[in-house]
C-alpha cells in the first residue's frame, strides 16, 4: 500500500508540474502581443536590446495575420497574459475595455503629440494610445502618369481623376500599362475596399453629423453613390475582369511594382515594399486623396489614422504594469526605440519621434500644410467590423458579376447594427 501511495503521489506531482507549466515568474516582465507580422523580427531584436539595457524581460508574441482576436482571446486566459496588447477600434474597445489600464497621465501618455489616436471609453479613461499612424489614399506612379501625358497636379477631384483614368485605360495597349491595379476581393485584398475605401462615404457622413465620437446606432449611407462612383472607376479601368475579382491570384502590389498600372489604392505601409522589393524610385511615388465625387472634396487630404493602439492589461500585476509602462516610454523616447518605431511603423505621434523617409507621409504633411482636411479613419467605429466587412465584400463580389447595387447598400447601411 505504501508503494502504491508513493507512486500515486509521484504521478500527481508530475501531473501538477505539467499542468502548471513553467511556474510564475517573480520579476516584473513585459509581454507584448504584437499585431503586425511584418514587424516581428525587428520587435524581437528591440526586446533583446531593452533586456540587455535594463534587465527586464520583454516577450514579443506575434499573432498570425487575421488571427489577432482569436490569439488574444486565448492568451488573455493564461496565467501569464499579455501585458501590452492592441485595442485599435471601437469594436475592440467594447470587448476589451475592462482589460484596459487607464493610461491618462502616465509618462508615455504625456509624450504624445496629439490626442487624435487615443481611444477613450465612456468614463473618459484613456484605454489605448496610438503608437504610430498611417495614411492611405491612391498611390500614383508619377513616371507612368507623365508618360501618359499628365501630372499629379492635374488630378484635383473625381471628375479629373475619371477623365485621366479612362483615357489611360483606353490607351492601355499602346501605353503598355493600365490605369488601376486589380481590385481583388479575396481576403488578401478586400480590406482595401471594405475597410479603407468604405471610409470615404463613412467619413463624409460623419462630417455631416459633426464628426462621430462613438459608433452611431445606425447610418444613412448618404454618400453611397460616391462610393459607387469610385468603385466603378476602379473595376472598369483595370486589366482585371470584374467578374473574377473574388478569385485568388490577383496581386495588386506586384502589378504596381512591375509598373503595369498608374494608380494603386493602398497606404503608407507599402512604401518599403515598393522601394525595396520592386526597386521603385521614391521620387516616382506620390499619394493622392481618394476622390469620389463628394461636394468640397478638392479640399481633402489623405486618410490618416491608426488601428495600432497600445493598451496595457489592467488585470496584470502592478509590477508588470509598471514594467510595461516603462518599456513603452523607452520605445518612444530612447534613440534605439524611436529608430525602430520610425523604421517599422512609420510616423509616430510622440515628441521624440525619429525622422523617417517615407514619401507618403511627406505628401500627407503637404496636404495638411496646404489647408486640406485630413480624412479621419472613421471606419474604426464599425461596430461588428468583421461581419460588416465580410458582408460588404460578398455584396461587392456579387455586384461585380452583375448583381444589384441594392445589396451593397443593404450590407452597408442595414448591416451596421450596434
Partner 1 sequence: MRRKRSGLRTGGNGVLLRHAMRRYWFVFLLPMTAAFAVGFVWPFLQGIYLSFCSFTTTSNARFVGIENYFTAIGDKGFIYSFWFTALFAAVALVLINLLAFAVAYVLTQGIRGANLFRTVFFMPNLIGGIVLGYIWSILFDGVLRMYNTSILMETKYGFWGLIILQCWQQVGYMMIIYIAGLQAVPEDMLEAARMDGAGRWSTLIRVTIPNLMPAITICTFLTLTNSFKLFDQNLALTGGAPFVFEKGADGTLNTIRTTEMLALNIYNTFYGQGSISRGAAQAKAVLFFVLVAVISVLQLRTTRSREVQR
Kindly list the residues in this chain that would bind partner 1 in the complex (CB under 8 A): 4, 7-8, 11, 15, 19, 69-70, 73, 76-77, 91, 94-96, 98-99, 187, 241, 243-244, 246-249, 315, 383-384, 386-387, 390-391, 394-395, 397-398, 401, 407, 410-411, 414-415, 417
Q: Give the three cell numbers for residue 181.
A: 491595379
Instruction: Please name the residue that has the C-alpha cell 478586400.
Output: 190
189 three-state secondary structure: coil
Minimum gap (Å) between residue 52 Cβ and partner 1: 33
User: Among residues 68 and 256, whose Cβ is nearest to partner 1?
Assistant: 68
User: Among residues 61 and 76, whose Cβ is nearest to partner 1?
Assistant: 76
Minimum gap (Å) between residue 387 Cβ and partner 1: 5
Within 10 A of 182 (CB to CB), how many other CB atoms are there? 26
Q: For 9-13, which contacts have Cβ atoms below 8 Å and span 24 or more sequence positions?
A: none
User: Among residues 11 and 65, whose Cβ is nearest to partner 1?
Assistant: 11
Burial call 372-383: b when 16+ CB within 10 Å, e when fewer: bebbbbbbbbbb
For helices 224-236 and 158-170, give the axis angle rounded to 10 degrees: 20
Question: What letter would DSSP give residue 372?
Answer: P
Report the alpha-carbon distance of residue 388 to residue 399 in Å, rounded: 16
Minimum gap (Å) between residue 293 Cβ and partner 1: 25
Report the alpha-carbon distance of residue 98 to residue 101 in Å, rounded: 8
Minimum gap (Å) between residue 88 Cβ and partner 1: 15
User: Among residues 50 and 96, whose Cβ is nearest to partner 1?
Assistant: 96
User: Among residues 322 and 398, whose Cβ is nearest to partner 1?
Assistant: 398
Minimum gap (Å) between residue 266 Cβ and partner 1: 23
CA atoms within 13 A on the CB side of 304: 27
User: Among residues 158 and 250, whose Cβ is nearest to partner 1?
Assistant: 250
Instruction: Please name the residue that has the C-alpha cell 481623376.
Output: 161
Amino acid at each position: 500500500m505504501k508503494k502504491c501511495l508513493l507512486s500515486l503521489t509521484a504521478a500527481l506531482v508530475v501531473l501538477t508540474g505539467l499542468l502548471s507549466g513553467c511556474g510564475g515568474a517573480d520579476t516584473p516582465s513585459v509581454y507584448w502581443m504584437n499585431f503586425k507580422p511584418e514587424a516581428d523580427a525587428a520587435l524581437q531584436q528591440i526586446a533583446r536590446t531593452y533586456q540587455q539595457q535594463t534587465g527586464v524581460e520583454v516577450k514579443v508574441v506575434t499573432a498570425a495575420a487575421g488571427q489577432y482576436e482569436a490569439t488574444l482571446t486565448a492568451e488573455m486566459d493564461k496565467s501569464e497574459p499579455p501585458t501590452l496588447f492592441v485595442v485599435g477600434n471601437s469594436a475592440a474597445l467594447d470587448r476589451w475595455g475592462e482589460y484596459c489600464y487607464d493610461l491618462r497621465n502616465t509618462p508615455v501618455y504625456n509624450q504624445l503629440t496629439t490626442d487624435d489616436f487615443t481611444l477613450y471609453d465612456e468614463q473618459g479613461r484613456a484605454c489605448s494610445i496610438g503608437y504610430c499612424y498611417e495614411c492611405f489614399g491612391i498611390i500614383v506612379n508619377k513616371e507612368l502618369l507623365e508618360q501618359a501625358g499628365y501630372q499629379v497636379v492635374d488630378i484635383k477631384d473625381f471628375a479629373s481623376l475619371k477623365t485621366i483614368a479612362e483615357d489611360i485605360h483606353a490607351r492601355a495597349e499602346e501605353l503598355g500599362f493600365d490605369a488601376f491595379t486589380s481590385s481583388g476581393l479575396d481576403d488578401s485584398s478586400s480590406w482595401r475596399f471594405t475597410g479603407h475605401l468604405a471610409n470615404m462615404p463613412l467619413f463624409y457622413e460623419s462630417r455631416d453629423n459633426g464628426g462621430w465620437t462613438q459608433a452611431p446606432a445606425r447610418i444613412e449611407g448618404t454618400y453611397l453613390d460616391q462610393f459607387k462612383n469610385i468603385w466603378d472607376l476602379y473595376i472598369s479601368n483595370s486589366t482585371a475582369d470584374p467578374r473574377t475579382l473574388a478569385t485568388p491570384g490577383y496581386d495588386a502590389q506586384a502589378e504596381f511594382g512591375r509598373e503595369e498600372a498608374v494608380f494603386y489604392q493602398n497606404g503608407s505601409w507599402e512604401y518599403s515594399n515598393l522601394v525595396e522589393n520592386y526597386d521603385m524610385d521614391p521620387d516616382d511615388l506620390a499619394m493622392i486623396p481618394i476622390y469620389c465625387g463628394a461636394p468640397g472634396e478638392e479640399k481633402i487630404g489623405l486618410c490618416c489614422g491608426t488601428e495600432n493602439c497600445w493598451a496595457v492589461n489592467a488585470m496584470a500585476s502592478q509590477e508588470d504594469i509598471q514594467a510595461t509602462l516603462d518599456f513603452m516610454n523607452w520605445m518612444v523616447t530612447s534613440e534605439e526605440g524611436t529608430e525602430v518605431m520610425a523604421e517599422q511603423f512609420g510616423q509616430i505621434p510622440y515628441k521624440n519621434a525619429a525622422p523617417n523617409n517615407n514619401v507618403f507621409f511627406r505628401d500627407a504633411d503637404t496636404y495638411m500644410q496646404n489647408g486640406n482636411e485630413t480624412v479621419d479613419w472613421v471606419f474604426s467605429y464599425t461596430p461588428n467590423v468583421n461581419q460588416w466587412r465580410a458582408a460588404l465584400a460578398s455584396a461587392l463580389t456579387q455586384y461585380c458579376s452583375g448583381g444589384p447595387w441594392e445589396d451593397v447598400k443593404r450590407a452597408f447601411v442595414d448591416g451596421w447594427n450596434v
